[in-house]
Structure 1
Amino acid sequence: MARILITGSSDGLGSIVAQRLVARGHSVVLHARNPARAQDAIKACSGAETVVTGDLSSIEDTKKLANDVNKLGIFDCVIHNAGLFRSPYSETADGIPPLAAVNTLAPYILTCLITRPKRLVFVSSDMHQSGDGSLEDILWQQRGEKGYDPIKAYRASKVHAVIFAKAFARRWPEVKSNSLDPGWVPTKMGGANASGDTEAAVATYVMLAEGEEVNAQRSGIYYNPGPTEGRAQASTDDETVQERLLQICADFTGINPSI
């Protein structure tokens, strides 16, 4: 039995995957943005071990969430599933758009602060293929509201997810760190017209969460639904790019990843 934390698991694929993992005999800790959403999470997945709360758009809340998770003990796998899509421009208390906070900074902070698990899973998207891998102004502080584009912001954040998976796979060889594209599936985020296969998406999550199949014992890999190995944007393999993203996040949050 594995012990698994899934961020953003009050609904959507996070909830579906949690239910599937519980049904397969694993211990799952859910995550929700606030107490109301936590009730939704437990209602949908009553077999979960517990639920933790924290607003991932806030650096302080995310740090507290990491501390709360550590109080629960060691995890076999952490799935960074939470994410925003088509999120309009506003500024969080930290002065950045919520999408940049939730999709980029939160998985970085949690990975740095949660006691190192055996497996890390970063949820990306095929949309990362057309994302900006230059790492210029990733937190939209220079471009601001006038330059903000929610689709460009989402695509870039999903490039970051792949980079994180590869960077931590290289830095922490004892941890299996991978990323996945769940496909365009009919959830609240994907919409009712989505044509992707939910079962194929879930299969990829489950494989990486359980860590038993041969592919799940690899590291630094980008997976398509199915699961099958995919080819990520070429920039994500550049170690200089990987280190630059980690440094940008470290400089902004004041949190450095351990070696």
Structure 2
Amino acid sequence: MARIFITGSAGGLGLNAARALMQQGHEVVLHARDESRLANAGAVRDQALGTAVGDLADLTETEGVAEQAEQFGPFDAVIHNAGVYSGNDIFAVNIVAPYLLTALMARPQRIVYISSGMHRSGTPHLQGIDWTNAAMRPAAYSDSKLYVTALAAAVAERWPGVESNAVDPGWVPTRMGGRSAPDDLELGHLTQVWLATRESADDHVSGGYWFHQQRREPHPAVKDKAFQAELLDALERHTGFALR
């Protein structure tokens, strides 16, 4: 049995992952932006080990989420599932929050960051970036997913005892993906569930970018040590917290 924390798990892929993990007998701590969203989790909330509530677009609330989640730790795995596709909060939710939670929480055995195939359209340039307002970046979503994929690789490098991976769940018909999304919703959560609970303890898998349990080649910047360092430095300056 594993103990797992999932951000953005009151709906969509996060809720599906939580449900699947519970069905396998694992303990899950849910997260939602507010209590009203958490109520939408229904029976999954009732079966959860615990919950954490807070808006990941806000640094102070994200710190609060870390504190709430840690009350149920230590965790075997953390799945950074929460994400937004549009609006000014893209960077705050998609990359700043995963970084800050990683920096604040005790190291789990495994970390899974949700990426996207659109990360390949991102640009590895951080000059002049405003982490609190994505309005001035036309490709902000792609950039944010490039950054979080690089974060997964950087954590794998800096914390060799932790399995850190990024997952492309596909373009699936969730609220964020839209009803016309072409990929299979049922396959959208399986890779992150698998990475969080793999039984092959002797087969250390880290630093990968995955799609449907297959390792894929990410944007070249993901493996660029200089870009990783620049990204971590920028996030540390913005949040005030460094990776321990």
Indicate the TM-score class for this superposition, using the shorter chain for normalisation.
over 0.9
1:233 to 216, 219, 224: 219
Do residues 125 (structure 1) and 123 (structure 2) align? no
- Structure 1 249/53 Cα, relative in aligned 2: closer, same or farther at 3 Å? same
Tell me the distance in 2 between the aligned counterparts of 1:137 and 1:61.
25
- Identify the residue that residue 178 of structure 2 maps to in structure 1: 191
Do residues 9 (structure 1) and 9 (structure 2) align? yes
TM-score by length of 2: 0.94
1:135 to 116, 120, 126: 126
2:233 to 220, 231, 247: 247
In 2, are the aligned partners of 1:208 and 1:216 still within 8 Å (CA)?
no
The offset of 1:193, in angstroms, is 0.9
- Identify the residue that residue 26 of structure 1 maps to in structure 2: 26
Tell me the distance in 2 between the aligned counterparts of 1:122 and 1:6.
10
Question: What is the aligned length?
Answer: 244
Cα displacement string for residues 70-110 of structure 1 (whole angstroms, at most 9, x for unaligned residues): 222200000000001122xxxxxxxxx31111111100000
The offset of 1:41, in angstroms, is 2.5
Structure-to-structure mapping, 1:35-50, within 5 angstroms: 35-50=35-50
In structure 1, what residue type is equivalent to 2:116?
Answer: S
Q: Percent identity?
A: 41
Structure-to-structure mapping, 1:65-214, within 5 angstroms: 65-87=65-87, 97-139=88-130, 145=135, 147-149=136-138, 152-213=139-200
- Structure 1 234/158 Cα, relative in aligned 2: closer, same or farther at 3 Å? same
The offset of 1:22, in angstroms, is 0.4
The offset of 1:43, in angstroms, is 4.0
The offset of 1:137, in angstroms, is 3.2
In structure 1, what residue type is equivalent to 2:204?
Answer: Q
Tell me the distance in 2 between the aligned counterparts of 1:216 and 1:50.
30
The offset of 1:127, in angstroms, is 0.3
In 1, are the aligned partners of 2:31 and 2:38 still within 8 Å (CA)?
yes
Gaps of 5+ in 2: none
In 1, are the aligned partners of 2:76 and 2:108 still within 8 Å (CA)?
yes
Tell me the distance in 2 between the aligned counterparts of 1:109 and 1:213.
29
Counterpart of 2:190 in 1: which secondary structure? helix
In 2, are the aligned partners of 1:168 and 1:177 still within 8 Å (CA)?
yes
In 2, are the aligned partners of 1:38 and 1:52 still within 8 Å (CA)?
no
Tell me the distance in 2 between the aligned counterparts of 1:255 and 1:230.
31
TM-score by length of 1: 0.89
Cα displacement string for residues 23-58 of structure 1 (whole angstroms, at most 9, x for unaligned residues): 011001000001111222244543211211011010
